[in-house]
């Protein structure tokens, strides 16, 4: 059974702080890793993808992958109230469809 | 603007109605998907259409019926739905189902209410 685990939150951070979102996965052969942002009532939006160990930065977002520990994280620097959303971690083993975690709700207070 | 277009955005239907959800992708992707999402839950895969082959999640009731007229269109036909089928229905597409690269691009969804 492929599993992707996330803390459901909510994770509360003040405006301007760093938000750290974490995800673990069970399928050691997984190849592709994604973070989606979903505002309430809206569809998921892909914000980061990562395929190899290490860090990948895009603006205020940094994705980190550690395949040995089966761990992927998303850091959001200078958090803004508009970042308040549910963040879904998704993992693709390369031979099947995406497996989603249950999502972490992030609340950024002004 | 999303490159995966879903219509309608909202749908209210009775339990005896027949309706269809439509999805079109303009990205040249070879795989398309239907997901169902209930409030505060992750998306749940219903159907995959990849390289002209349909894969079905066997837990999906037969009152949901997918149709793929061509590689850029994916419809979902609805018949005799139940109130518990009320949810956000999401269409997605990806470049390649087997490699997993590139992630999925989601449409804006159809908010379905069954009365």
The three-state DSSP-derived secondary structure of chain B is CCCEEEECCEEEECCCCEEEEEEEECCCCCEEEEEEECCCCCCEEEEEEECCEEEECCCCCCCEEEEEEECCEEEEEEECCCHHHCEEEEEEEECCCCCCCCCCEECCCEEEEEC
Q: What is the pLDDT of residue A96?
A: 73
Disruptive mutation site among A38, A42, A74, A97 for chain B (greatest number of B CBs within 10 Å)? A97
Query: Does residue B65 register a pLDDT over 80?
Result: yes
B57: number of Cβ within 10 Å? 15
Q: pLDDT (tens digit, 9 = 90+) per residue, B82-102?
A: 999 999 999 999 987 666 677
Query: Does residue B53 register a pLDDT over 90?
Result: no
The mean per-residue pLDDT over the stretch A81-85 comes to 97
Q: What is the pLDDT of residue A87?
A: 98
Closest residue, chain A, to B100 (C-alpha)? A94
Q: What is the pLDDT of residue B34?
A: 96
Q: Please list, in sequence order, all residues whose beta carbon lies within 8 angstroms of the beta carbon of residue B53, skipping any fewer than 6 positions away.
A: none
Which candidate from A32, A93, A103 shows the least CB-CB separation from B101? A32
Q: pLDDT (tens digit, 9 = 90+) per residue, A19-36?
A: 999 999 999 988 899 999
Q: What is the pLDDT of residue A109?
A: 96
Which candidate from A45, A95, A103 shows the least CB-CB separation from B98? A95
Closest residue, chain A, to B47 (C-alpha)? A97
Query: Does residue A79 register a pLDDT over 70?
Result: yes
Q: Which of A39-43, A46-50, B54-58 has the least mean pLDDT? A: B54-58
- Confidence label for B2 from pLDDT (cuts 50, 70 and 90): low
Disruptive mutation site among B100, B101, B110, B112 for chain A (greatest number of A CBs within 10 Å)? B100
Across the A:B interface, residue pairs with CB atoms under 8 Å apart total 56
Which candidate from A43, A46, A101 shows the least CB-CB separation from B42? A101
Q: What is the pLDDT of residue B58?
A: 85
Contact between B17 and B49 under an 8 Å Cβ cutoff? The reply is no
The mean per-residue pLDDT over the stretch B40-55 comes to 89
Query: Does residue A53 register a pLDDT over 60?
Result: yes
Question: Is A32–B111 a contact, with Cβ atoms under 8 angstroms apart?
Answer: no
Which candidate from B43, B100, B109 shows the least CB-CB separation from A100? B43
**From the CA of B111, how many Å to the nearest CA of chain A?**
9
């Amino acid at each position: 059974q492929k599993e992707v685990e996330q803390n459901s939150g909510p994770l509360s951070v003040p405006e301007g702080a760093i938000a750290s979102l974490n995800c673990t996965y069970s399928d050691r052969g997984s190849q592709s890793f994604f973070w989606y942002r979903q505002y309430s009532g809206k569809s998921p939006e892909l914000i980061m993808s990562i395929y190899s160990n290490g860090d990948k930065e895009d603006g205020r977002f940094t994705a980190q992958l550690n395949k040995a520990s089966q761990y992927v994280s998303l850091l959001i620097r200078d958090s803004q109230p508009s970042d308040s959303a549910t963040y879904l971690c998704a993992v693709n083993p390369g031979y099947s469809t995406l497996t989603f975690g249950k999502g972490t709700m992030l609340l950024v207070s002004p | 603007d999303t490159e995966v277009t879903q219509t309608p955005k909202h749908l209210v239907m009775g339990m005896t109605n027949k309706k269809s959800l439509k999805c079109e992708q303009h990205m040249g992707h070879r795989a398309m998907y239907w997901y169902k999402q209930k409030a505060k839950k992750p998306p749940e895969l219903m159907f995959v259409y990849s390289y002209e082959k349909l894969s079905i999640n066997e837990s999906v009731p037969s009152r949901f019926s997918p149709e793929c007229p061509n590689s850029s269109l994916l419809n979902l036909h609805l018949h005799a739905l139940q109130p518990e089928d009320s949810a956000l229905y999401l269409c997605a597409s990806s470049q390649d189902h087997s490699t997993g690269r590139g992630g999925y691009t989601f449409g804006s969804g159809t908010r379905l209410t069954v009365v």
